[in-house]
Amino acid sequence: MHQVERTSGLFLEGWKLIPFLPDNLKKQIIMTILGGEEILRKIKIMDYNVLEIRPELRKLDFIKIFFKANFKKW
């Protein structure tokens, strides 16, 4: 549980760097952060039981990440 909260905090810090990135990297880093946040969300839903069940991103998750990264104002 501690590592998920710690990682979540690191992602929050990462969001602050987005405005300083060159345009060609912004979308890639945004999608990476969104994907990581989605994995953390799934770990919480699984009650942090990552030893028995591995969290996975599904097609719908990738579609949501793509649309968030490309159509939301950053």
0.85 surpassed by pTM: yes
pLDDT of residue 1: 86
- 56: helix, coil or strand? coil
The count of structural domains within the chain is: 1
Token code pair at residue 14: 């990462």
pLDDT of residue 26: 94
For residue 8, what are the contacts with CB-CB under 8 A and spacing of at least 6?
Answer: 37, 40
Q: Report the 10 Å Cβ neighbour count for 35.
A: 15
Contact 48, 8 (CB under 8 A): no
Parent domain of 32: 2-71
pLDDT of residue 72: 84
Q: Report the 10 Å Cβ neighbour count for 29.
A: 15
Each residue's pLDDT expressed in tens, for the chain with a length of 74 residues:
899 999 999 999 999 999 999 999 999 999 999 999 999 999 999 999 999 999 999 999 999 999 999 998 76
